[in-house]
A and B are shown apart, each in its own frame.
Chain A
Amino acid sequence: RKKVTAVHKANIMRMSDGLFLRMCREAAETNSDIKFEEQYLDTVVLNMVQDPSKYDVLVMPNLYGDILSDLCAGLVGGLGLTPSGNQGEAGAVFESVHGTAPDIAGQDRANPTALLLSAVMMLRYMGLYDHATLIEYSCFETIKAGEFRTGDLGGNAKCSEFTAEICRNIEELLSTESNIS
């Protein structure tokens, strides 16, 4: 990624957001190969709904992150498609951020995309880039194709059918690759 934007309200919360911002500036200085900019939260929100291409990576304190992360998820279709990863001191936990959907549980209707993309994040975190790309690409191709979309995406496919199609895509890619090699 090329740019980090620090999101804050240091004009209003001078000490708290001011401190956060100072730490971002210090980190920017020690990472001069990555572009850095600072923007007020309300400006980011205003711009994000008009032209999201203005932004790349955004870093911010807790509450703003809560809001902005959900806003951005909404831009691409909601929490059912959004991956998520959590960095800890001693490791990382990746998770889907949607609910348990008890109304469709056990009926083979769920969309596993969010959890799958979170797992793909996990693979990249673990250094398994090729596997990550393979799975992610197959997942997106399947969604693109249309006939295997689950109910939440406006389709009729079962969770198992969607899954099977991704597996099929993966196997096809792997066999093509082994044919070439």
Chain B
Amino acid sequence: FAADGKMASRVLKSLLSSSRAVGVRQYSADVRTVTLIPGDGIGPEISKSVQQIFAAAKVPIKWEEVDVTPVKGPDGIFGIPPAAIASVNKNQIGLKGPLMTPIGKGHRSLNLAIRKEFSLYANVRPCRSIEGYETLYKDVDVVTIRENTEGEYSGIEHEIVDGVVQSIKLITEQASRRVAEFAFKYARDNGRHKVTAVHKANIMRMSDGLFLRMCREAAEQNPDIKFEEKYLDTVCLNMVQDPSQYDVLVMPNLYGDILSDLCAGLVGGLGLTPSGNQGQGGAVFESVHGTAPDIAGQDKANPTALLLSAVMMLRYMNLPDHATKIENACFDTIKQEQFRTGDLGGKAKCSEFTAEICKKIQSES
């Protein structure tokens, strides 16, 4: 990252954390500021959609829009602009659209940069069957919780000799405990009944074994939530036959990558899937689809994924009534064929879809 940016963010972080009161309860009456990262491609238009819908629902939040387009530091490496970093650190909540990592020297994955910058340690992806968009699977209702900082994605690799490469899977007690405890808390906060730890501890005895132990410990401290352990291959086998067997699933990084996409596929793909990332000092919610440059700017995009992520955000912010109102309006609109966008097999424009949701919200108020 840009050396200046990193320094600046460290200074800002320490300033802000010392002045931030820990455990201050946010009352729904407060108007909170949320950092908005519209992103690239269809990002700006779906972000506008969300803002319109939130306005129609009179959600008590203020948007602070930032641009994360990388800026070049003195060392030639591109990094997130310090203003964007400061905004997320200040507001502690962010909503993010799809980002395009530019190709070229000095650019790293922007998504990875954001994840690292805000220590986003748990990725949460709820997958529910959407009425009006039929897939081969009915009644899917699972949530994957993926450890997002270590595991197979530690990036520690080396070549022993020519043609022999080792890749290190790093599992730490701290990260595993953190995501395990988060999983149980999430389950309780969202009325879920069971947490399944997904692992391959029969093969990776030490690494997955450690992860599993942390899950078991968290389970003991949360006896009101059911707990089970399953091998990853068994989960995949079962998930494609009968997803109703599962509720909340928690797992290390790579397994989460796979299983979260598998579950998204069950309900219709990444275009409909919300996603939330829990960090040390806040949370970032985001759509996980691409920037879709081929339809950008043509009023064709489907804002559902970003909207549902924003709904997740509202629940996180303790605004469940607004969340439910918006969510219901969204699902009710998708149920009606005339308002479905192209990706769902319909002909409606993004603006028409958005307007209908707003109409439903306003008529309910």
State the A residues within 8 Å of B (CB).
9, 12-19, 41-43, 45-50, 63, 66-67, 69-71, 73-75, 77-79
Contact between B233 and A78 (Cβ–Cβ < 8 Å)? no
Q: CB of B223 within 8 A of chain A?
A: no
Q: CB of B238 within 8 A of chain A?
A: yes
Contact of B241 among A17, A46, A78 (CB under 8 A): A78
Whole-angstrom distance between the alpha carbons of A19 and B161 in the complex? 13
Q: Kindly report which residue of chain A lies nearest to residue B112, judged by CB atoms.
A: A12
Whole-angstrom distance between the alpha carbons of A66 and B264 in the complex? 20
Q: Knowing A42-B257, A67-B232 touch, does A16 contact B237 (C-beta < 8 A)?
A: no
Q: CB of B25 within 8 A of chain A?
A: no
Contact between A70 and B234 (Cβ–Cβ < 8 Å)? yes
Count of interface residues, chain B, beta-carbon cutoff 8 Å: 35
CB distance from A19 to the nearest CB of B (A): 5
Among B158, B166, B262, the one with the most A-chain Cβ atoms within 10 Å of its Cβ is B262
Chain A residues with Cβ below 8 Å from B264 are 46
Contact between B261 and A46 (Cβ–Cβ < 8 Å)? yes
13 contacting pairs across A/B (C-beta < 8 A): A9-B257, A13-B157, A16-B157, A45-B262, A46-B270, A49-B265, A50-B265, A50-B268, A63-B254, A67-B236, A67-B258, A70-B234, A74-B240
In addition to A17-B167, A49-B137, 8 A-B residue pairs with Cβ atoms within 8 Å of each other are A13-B153, A43-B261, A63-B254, A70-B237, A73-B237, A74-B236, A74-B241, A75-B240
Binary A-proximity of B216-243 (CB < 8 A = 1, otherwise 0): 0000000000000000111011111100
Q: Which of B142-197 contact A (CB under 8 A)?
A: 152-153, 155, 157-159, 163, 165-167
Whole-angstrom distance between the alpha carbons of A48 and B268 in the complex? 12
Contact between A49 and B262 (Cβ–Cβ < 8 Å)? yes
Contact between B152 and A71 (Cβ–Cβ < 8 Å)? no
Whole-angstrom distance between the alpha carbons of A12 and B262 in the complex? 18
CB distance from A46 to the nearest CB of B (A): 4
Chain A residues with Cβ below 8 Å from B261 are 42-43, 45-46
Whole-angstrom distance between the alpha carbons of A49 and B135 in the complex? 10
Chain A residues with Cβ below 8 Å from B232 are 66-67
CB distance from B196 to the nearest CB of A (A): 16
Contact between A15 and B233 (Cβ–Cβ < 8 Å)? no
Contact of B236 among A18, A47, A50, A70 (CB under 8 A): A70
Q: Knowing A45-B258, A45-B261, A46-B269 touch, does A15 contact B157 (C-beta < 8 A)?
A: yes
State the B residues within 8 Å of A (CB).
135-137, 152-153, 155, 157-159, 163, 165-167, 200, 232-234, 236-241, 254, 257-258, 260-262, 264-266, 268-270
Q: Knowing A12-B153, A15-B165, A46-B269 touch, does A41 contact B158 (C-beta < 8 A)?
A: no
Whole-angstrom distance between the alpha carbons of A73 and B241 in the complex? 10
Contact between B167 and A46 (Cβ–Cβ < 8 Å)? no
Chain B residues with Cβ below 8 Å from A74 are 236-241
CB distance from A72 to the nearest CB of B (A): 9
Chain A residues with Cβ below 8 Å from B260 are 42
Contact of A66 among B157, B159, B233, B257 (CB under 8 A): B233
CB distance from A179 to the nearest CB of B (A): 43
Chain B residues with Cβ below 8 Å from A13 are 152-153, 157, 167
Chain A residues with Cβ below 8 Å from B238 are 74
Q: Knowing A15-B157, A67-B236 touch, does A9 contact B265 (C-beta < 8 A)?
A: no
Chain B residues with Cβ below 8 Å from A18 are 165
Chain B residues with Cβ below 8 Å from A73 are 237
Q: Kindly report which residue of chain A lies nearest to residue B234, judged by CB atoms.
A: A70
Chain B residues with Cβ below 8 Å from A42 are 257-258, 260-261
Whole-angstrom distance between the alpha carbons of A92 and B153 in the complex? 34
Q: Knowing A16-B165, A46-B265, A49-B265 touch, does A71 contact B254 (C-beta < 8 A)?
A: no
Q: Knowing A74-B236, A74-B241 touch, does A49 contact B165 (C-beta < 8 A)?
A: no
Whole-angstrom distance between the alpha carbons of A18 and B163 in the complex? 11
Contact of B265 among A48, A69, A77 (CB under 8 A): A48
Contact between B241 and A41 (Cβ–Cβ < 8 Å)? no
